[in-house]
Amino acid sequence: MEIPFTKLHGNGNDFVLIDEYGKIVVPDDMKGQFAAIYCNRRLGIGADGIIWLSKSEKSILRMRIIQPDESEAEMCGNGIRCLAKYAFDTGYVRESCTVETPAGEIGVAMMGYREDEFTATITLTPPKFDRKDIPATGDGEYKERIGEFDVYAVNTGVPHAVIIVDSVDAINVEAVAPAIRSHATFNKGANVNFIERTGTDSIRIRTFERGVEQETLSCGTGATASAAIVHKLGYTGETVRVDTRGGSLTIYLQDGVKMEGPATTVFSGKISF
């Protein structure tokens, strides 16, 4: 059978979107295998994950993300902007919507097109500063020494490890991140973010993503987790610019947590599956 798809990215964090708004296209028990095949950058389309868009009984839309290792991510900040762009362009939603995810209901405000670039603001679940998914009760409980690094734990819908370094360019991310990603501190594993403070309210970030099992060009929930840590430590104000390898995101930490950033459609096609 032929399956229509759309390839999108948020700051280089790329996804293949499958539209199941009207009907199920790929059975649930085959979605993992589908992701493993088509996320492959040599033998498939190439992506950091497959986004499945469908109707929701509790929100306007539902999003699931299956990663290249066949696991399902709880949430994805860049992915949800890609889903929002597709839904906006398709006419499923207009100015705003809510999206059901395994991490909870996420609000999306469409800012539309600015000089041909689509931008959206995502209202995320409040960050939890924790280890082993247990909320911290003291300042030190979300920080632990792992190897040569002080590692801060924060959950922004997805578990993250945040590490402040002098220079992100000096870090061999794919060499040092896997041990932290799988450390016993994180009983479900974690994305690993290395951050460099670049100004009063700005940071640079590089992220190794759980499920993708390599560094990606951008991670929305990782940018949010990193901004939340530097703000909690008193290094920044309530608005933080986060520069990823694929582009910039703005994180707002007042009146809840919001992330603003772009999404881009790359191409569409059909898969013979």
Catalytic residue positions, numbered:
76, 219
DSSP 251: E
Helix and strand counts by DSSP (H, E) for the chain: 4, 19
Q: Are 33 and 102 in contact (CB under 8 A)?
A: no
Q: Are 233 and 198 in contact (CB under 8 A)?
A: no
Q: How far apart are CA 49 and CA 7, in angstroms?
A: 10
Q: How far apart are CA 69 and CA 142, in angstroms?
A: 28
Q: How far apart are CA 7 and CA 79, in angstroms?
A: 11
Between helix 220-232 and helix 77-90 the angle, nearest 10°, is: 130
N- to C-terminal Cα separation, the chain: 6
Q: How far apart are CA 232 and CA 79, in angstroms?
A: 26
